[in-house]
Structure 1
Amino acid sequence: MLDSNKKNHMDFLYTNSNSESRSMTDSLASALRQRPSVFHELAGDWGSLAISVEATKCNTLSTRNHLVILIGTPVSYRTNGTEGLVTKTDIAAIAQGVLSGASRWMSTLSGPFAILIIDPRKMTLTIATDPLAFIPVYVSNYSDQLVVSTHVDAAANAKSSVSRDRTSIADFILHGIVTYPYTLYEDIQQVPPGSITTIDLNNVRRISSKHYWLPMARNPYSDVAEAAQSLREGTLRFLRAAVQTETNTAQFLSGGEDSRVLAGLLTSFGDKNPVALTYVDTPNRESQIATKVAQAYGLEHQVIKRHPQHYIQHLSGATANVGSVSQFIQAHSYGIQTDPKLESYGAIFGGWSADAFLKAMYARQTTGPYGFPVYPHRLLAGETRTSPIIHELFSQERLAEVRQRRVDHMNRVLEFRTDSCHEWFMLWPASMRATSGQFHSNRRLFRSIEPFISHEVLRLSASVPTSWKMGRRLFHEAFREFLEPSKWIPHASGYYPYRLSPFNAIVSLPRWMCDGAMRAALRYGLRNSAVASWSNWHGVMRSERWKAAVLQASKGYKFLPIVSSEDEGGDLLNDRSLSVHQKLNALQVATFFAEG
């Protein structure tokens, strides 16, 4: 089934072979479930390139000396003092900065991007990735054929032959990610984050990468207050530039605190208030709180209803949307993107990744019992990311291979993060986080702007001590004023974002106890609707649609590296040794291979 949305699929696929230029368009269109007419073809002695028409219109520059492609919608801080979302007129200066090797070019961009520069005279190809590769680029140069793409499965489609990486498959089922730099394909890997990579097109094995940025712990701030002021000013600058040319915007709004901070930031600019959007599968507390928050900030609120089994209903298309190395369950907007209301917005803002970069979500720290949301946090020494992996469904040899890849990645992280290696193992690059699929999906469906992954936020997050971010200290100090309109509206978890402990420890206790009872009811089928926005997976897995999805994936189970290769899927996906999310990961991979 083809996706009818044609507006924002900004991706490219390159090969050094131009003998079958049409196949590049077909390969990219097939990976994204799009019609070939959505893409444009370019070819020359340098090779063949398929690129989305949207990118060709806005973010492509062709001169006598270079062909430049910029994927993404970062903010441009121009030398003439003007600011705004990047436009075609910015690309020449950006490319000049990348090719010159000058480090200052990074200060002119903020936000996710991937840049491809082809020099037909020197026969070189240059790739620049954003600091954490939020828009990953994949490359295969293990033979005379070079393939480069922003979509991993398009790269696989373009290759003359490709082999599945069974260790990566096991890794994905267990962890919901594939450890950097690997993919589900043996000879396709991810280009380093925060780097400039150059490839000699006369000898594609000649490839060199150099980091222009690494998340080093170099703290220029004297205390949390000073860092918070810098964070607040940087975030406001980014958002102000992003909304300058957009009069019709929206933002995602939940029952949490990040989206209400975003509402406060966006409404502080005056008359360009966004429309608030909330997804619900069934009416729940999250949507009820979001309605109150929207009223508090004076926002028009639209509740968008999805099918209770929304994710399983769109399993195949969502996998194509995010790519096979990302979880399909992160594609929250897929399947509703053709709603005329969504297509009409010039930009849709989100609060993704505030927890990761500003609240030490991935740090090794003490946690509250049974998920108690307000608890005294204490940073723990060491790391557990590379602990031995034990699982009865996979051979010891396979598990050892998965662990070794995680050890290798930890060693890379230890080169620039020692005390906080447990945290940055999951942050560098962005593909190490299972939730990265959310951004991959959104950026392909509409113009998605995420202020909490701006360069201002990333640089500050890397520089300050992890302890400053714990317990919401830094976040709260920076953005408390923007929480004031909703200070008496509780978070979906029961605490009040405007306040810190110990007040919240007292008021959130009853809600925490009630939620524990409701989660138990969901698990045992005594309740059908979830309290939060996302699915009741225990209910979904008892549905007829789930059973049908398991059956449809039957041809793909043989590709899963489990101990028994005779399983037809039903037994595997009922195995109690797999968590709910591991079952979803296994079903996703089996479905992908069954259809491929």
Structure 2
Amino acid sequence: MVGLCSVIGAGSLPDAMANAIGWDDAEASITYRDDRFELRASLHTLLAGEQPAVAGEDVLIWVWGDVYGYGSEGNYAPRNGPPDGSAAFCARLYELFGMRFVEGLNGNFALVVYDQATKELSLVTDRFATRPLYYARPTEETLLVSSQSQSLVSHPDLDPEFELPYLYEYLELRRVFGVETPIKGVRQLPPGSIVSIDLDDLEMTTETYWSPSHDPIDKPFSYFRDRFTETIQQVFEEWTDDDLSYGLLLSGGSDSRLALGAIDQPVTAFHNADWMSREAKTAKRSAQATGNTFELLERDPEYDAQLLDCAPPLSNFSGWFDQAYFLGFHEEIAEEVDVLVSGLYADMLLGGGPLETRTLSLNSLGNLTLPIAQSIDSIDEYVSAQVNEAVEPLPYFSGIDDQSLSSIIRSNIHADDEGVVSHGVRYDSLRDLALYGSFYPIGADTDAIFSESLAHMRPYRTPFLDNRIVDLQQRIPVKYFLRRNFVNEAITEIEPTLAEIPHAHTGVPVKYHFPIDYLGKNIHGFWWKHIADDDVPEPHLDHTPWPNRTELIRTQSFTTETLRTHESTLAALPFLDLEGAWECYQDHLDGADNTPILYSLLTLLKTNVTDAVYTANDDTNTDANPDSVIEPSSTTPEG
């Protein structure tokens, strides 16, 4: 694992905090300490370089992550030189522009800038806080910072407790909005911001230097398509190095296929699956069509149970344990490649992913999604869209009286003259909240643990979060997100051979324009769902890259084992209900679909912070009798 942690002010940094950000001996370890500030970092050796870098005589700079370049539009300049040069690059920019230099940085990073002369420490997040930092103020004299939110409770001055409304958000929606966390007293530093700390009194001042603002211009689709195609190729041309080896997480869809076509280096295409499904076959065909190596990372029957053991301690409460999909293959990937690349966030930025679209019910045949955005004209409509699939009340949660999920979310959003503030993050408008609130910051995304786990395994990049792609996206009219396909058209232009291969989900070659793609997607969807004889080896397997979670719960024993192991926790913590947890599981075995709330509960039970909260509560909760709870019937899968 990579990241950083710090104690600012009084006290020293506990080993438990530092150990929580380390992965293995192959990483570079960095330590700094003076009388008011202690920092430890664990960084990928490829990126670490000599840190801190020194600007002038008195300013020290540390970088966790990777800086790609500086500037915008026609004034953009990539960072040349070795991969480990980010800190030195930032130091040179600081000497030229002072702290304003961070406004022009392009990359995935968190910075620590220490001005020893003025005794001011600045913590900087990139535009989307892709390398998140969390903080807590356990005493007036001490400020704690860490890239792992759970590690903060290992400090002796921070009492481990949960903030129940935000815990409820996580259990229902597998995320917490904005900068809030379910850990009491712990918040995330805001995205696109400089947080300055006076080391004398620990006063914190926050300046947001960037926030997303959708401001479309009136241009034809071809204008945006051509600029996108040109830019994505430029990004890969600057990113790649002949001396490094690259691994691409390749699906059977379009986003990673575009990366496969645009990257100008040989790659190892990794596909994670339980069997050679339709998705896996499509990914293999794409890799072979470009002369690249295809490697199937085949999960065994115990893979998800193993993820349940190793992934929750990494969680910042944004996603489920199994969404650290590749974590179980860390050693294999690290041995083969230097850098990982994915196509993540293309759908969020260019495919209208965050937008609620209209649907047409076809009764027993299912629903037809229409390429028309639903209007969001009020905060209440926005909240309603966020909770439309929630299961209330949670059968195993009893910590909040007379509060619904809607009321919790609504109470954390308000409008003012400058825009809308949701859970501590400001957006210029309600439309910007709807467009960007699910991934600005990245920690508010429902599967952020996926990209976070990749960043721990190897230096990791996703081209769609490059500043230039984001800047272009903000100028594109919404209609083009829903009724055109930037990624497919870029594939057709860059690598026509890949455009001939059908999309694994739609069955339609990606070379076709939107109307044909849209019709084909729905026709093939109905065909595969209602007509095609397309058997799978096991009930929990299908033709997507990931298992069918609903069936996996019914056929694997990890849910039973986890609930049994944590019965004392469920009984002791006053906001959890042991009997309700077993009933929730039994209802699922009997045919209900409680998958989302069960996966959230399993993740929660296996986190380090839950262990700490349980230990803190154990002596004061001795009346529970777990033996009196009836477990599910014999339909429960046994290990």
Q: Normalization by structure 1: what TM-score?
A: 0.87
Measured in 2, the distance between the counterparts of 1:534 and 1:550 equals: 23
Deviates more, 1:581-590 or 1:37-46: 37-46
Asked if 1:112 is matched to 2:115, the reply is: no
Asked if 1:60 is matched to 2:51, the reply is: yes
How many Å apart are 1:58 and its aligned residue? Answer: 2.2
**Partner residue in 2 for 1:312:** 305
Measured in 1, the distance between the counterparts of 2:197 and 2:532 equals: 52
2:343 to 326, 331, 351: 351
Asked if 1:165 is matched to 2:174, the reply is: no
Aligned partners of 1:495 and 1:505 also within 8 Å: no
Measured in 2, the distance between the counterparts of 1:436 and 1:113 equals: 15
How many Å apart are 1:273 and its aligned residue? Answer: 1.6
Give the structure with the higher percent strand.
2
**Partner residue in 2 for 1:194:** 192
- Match of 2:581, SS state, is coil
- Match of 1:15, SS state, is strand
2:123 to 122, 127, 137: 127
Q: Deviations over 1:376-419 (max 9, x none)?
A: 51122116431377712354236466223553499326741344
Measured in 2, the distance between the counterparts of 1:439 and 1:244 equals: 22
Asked if 1:12 is matched to 2:8, the reply is: no
Measured in 2, the distance between the counterparts of 1:240 and 1:36 equals: 28
Aligned partners of 2:212 and 2:427 also within 8 Å: no
Change (3 A) 1:334 1:351: same
Measured in 1, the distance between the counterparts of 2:482 and 2:208 equals: 29
Q: Deviations over 1:20-75 (max 9, x none)?
A: 34x2x432314667689974432112321121154694262243513321111231
**Partner residue in 2 for 1:589:** 604
Q: Deviations over 1:480-511 (max 9, x none)?
A: 31352123321111232221243234544553
What one-letter code is carried by the residue in structure 1 that aligns with 2:194? I
Q: Deviations over 1:136-188 (max 9, x none)?
A: 11112353210111111122323512322122211100011012221121111
Asked if 1:50 is matched to 2:52, the reply is: no
How many Å apart are 1:369 and its aligned residue? Answer: 5.3
Measured in 2, the distance between the counterparts of 1:345 and 1:251 equals: 9
Aligned partners of 2:177 and 2:438 also within 8 Å: no
How many Å apart are 1:347 and its aligned residue? Answer: 1.1
Change (3 A) 1:555 1:464: farther
Asked if 1:209 is matched to 2:206, the reply is: yes
Q: Deviations over 1:412-447 (max 9, x none)?
A: 267413445322221322222112111100000111
**Partner residue in 2 for 1:277:** 270
- Match of 1:69, SS state, is strand
- Match of 2:52, SS state, is strand
Could you say what the CA RMSD is over the residues aligned between the two structures, in angstroms?
3.4
**Partner residue in 1 for 2:173:** 175
- Match of 1:276, SS state, is strand
1:251 to 241, 244, 248: 248
Measured in 2, the distance between the counterparts of 1:183 and 1:250 equals: 32
What one-letter code is carried by the residue in structure 1 that aligns with 2:467? H
Q: Deviations over 1:517-559 (max 9, x none)?
A: 4999999x98342211101213321222332122223233257
**Partner residue in 2 for 1:156:** 153
Change (3 A) 1:390 1:76: same
How many Å apart are 1:76 and its aligned residue? Answer: 2.6
**Partner residue in 2 for 1:550:** 563
1:440-519 equivalence runs, <5 A: 440-482=452-494, 484-493=496-505, 494-517=507-530
Change (3 A) 1:145 1:225: same
- Match of 2:483, SS state, is helix
How many Å apart are 1:311 and its aligned residue? Answer: 2.5
Aligned partners of 2:350 and 2:486 also within 8 Å: yes
**Partner residue in 1 for 2:182:** 184
Measured in 2, the distance between the counterparts of 1:381 and 1:86 equals: 47
Measured in 1, the distance between the counterparts of 2:123 and 2:102 equals: 14
What one-letter code is carried by the residue in structure 1 that aligns with 2:130? F
**Partner residue in 2 for 1:4:** none
Measured in 2, the distance between the counterparts of 1:129 and 1:19 equals: 25
% identical aligned pairs: 17
How many Å apart are 1:328 and its aligned residue? Answer: 1.8
What one-letter code is carried by the residue in structure 1 that aligns with 2:435? E
Measured in 2, the distance between the counterparts of 1:141 and 1:98 equals: 29
Aligned partners of 1:95 and 1:117 also within 8 Å: no
Asked if 1:76 is matched to 2:80, the reply is: no
Aligned partners of 1:260 and 1:483 also within 8 Å: no
Deviates more, 1:415-424 or 1:543-552: 415-424
**Partner residue in 2 for 1:236:** 233
Measured in 2, the distance between the counterparts of 1:20 and 1:134 equals: 27
Aligned partners of 1:170 and 1:560 also within 8 Å: no
- Match of 2:327, SS state, is coil
1:348-427 equivalence runs, <5 A: 348-367=340-359, 376-382=370-376, 384-387=381-384, 391-393=392-394, 395-397=401-403, 399=405, 402-408=408-414, 411-412=420-421, 415-427=427-439
What one-letter code is carried by the residue in structure 1 that aligns with 2:548? N
Measured in 2, the distance between the counterparts of 1:131 and 1:519 equals: 45
Deviates more, 1:404-413 or 1:221-230: 404-413
What one-letter code is carried by the residue in structure 2 that aligns with 1:138? Y
Aligned partners of 1:31 and 1:157 also within 8 Å: no
Equivalent pairs, count: 577
**Partner residue in 2 for 1:580:** 595
Measured in 1, the distance between the counterparts of 2:533 and 2:32 equals: 56
Measured in 1, the distance between the counterparts of 2:341 and 2:65 equals: 14
Deviates more, 1:162-171 or 1:366-375: 366-375
Q: Deviations over 1:257-288 (max 9, x none)?
A: 1111111101xx3xx22121111122311111
Change (3 A) 1:67 1:374: farther
Change (3 A) 1:570 1:208: same
- Match of 2:285, SS state, is helix
Measured in 1, the distance between the counterparts of 2:40 and 2:486 equals: 44
Q: Unpaired runs of 5+ in structure 1? A: 1-8
How many Å apart are 1:321 and its aligned residue? Answer: 2.8
Measured in 2, the distance between the counterparts of 1:337 and 1:169 equals: 29
Q: Deviations over 1:67-113 (max 9, x none)?
A: 32111123135999664487454424424646946656543x32211
Deviates more, 1:54-63 or 1:173-182: 54-63
Change (3 A) 1:323 1:73: same
**Partner residue in 2 for 1:136:** 132
Q: Deviations over 1:207-242 (max 9, x none)?
A: 111111111223456332222222222222221111
Change (3 A) 1:491 1:559: farther
How many Å apart are 1:192 and its aligned residue? Answer: 1.1
Asked if 1:222 is matched to 2:219, the reply is: yes
Change (3 A) 1:468 1:509: closer
